[in-house]
Amino acid sequence: KLPTMKMLLSLIALLSAALLANAAPPTCYSRVLSLSKEITESFKELQTSKSVDSCVEMLPRLYLDIHNYCVLAKLRDFVASPRCERVVEVSELKEKARSLYTIMISYCRRDLVFLTDDCSALENPILPPIE
């Protein structure tokens, strides 16, 4: 009975550790990373959506790399763009972009490290191959 009890306690400890690891609060970096990916994906969906106004084609391109210092200017340009003001999906996306910008320049300012300032990389990104 004793080896079974030890095994059961070990299993409970392992599962508890796994739950605690997943329950850890997000870091500033992980929040910025996930929000930038969410915004980039939402923008891609918006561009391919048939139900959205044609003004979306005129919006500044929105590929975000939070390791590129130019992303701050990219976010400012996107939020300030007067196009598609009446399209709800665009307004929601602009609000997310505004939040990301605020998080990056205020809350996470000291936590972020920019590896490049290549603005053209945000205009013509080299995307990984699609599997």
pLDDT over 70 (residue 83): yes
18-57 in b/e form (b: 16+ CB < 10 A) is eeeeeeeeeeeeebbbebbeebeebbeebeeeeebeeebe
97 class by beta-carbon count within 10 Å (0-12 exposed, 13-18 middle, 19+ buried): buried
Sketch the domain layout of the chain as residue ranges.
Answer: 27-123
Query: pLDDT band at residue 25, thresholds of 50, 70 and 90?
Result: low
Q: Tell me, what's the pLDDT at 94?
A: 93
Least confident of 9-13, 26-30, 57-61, 63-67: 9-13
Tokens of 67: 């390791």
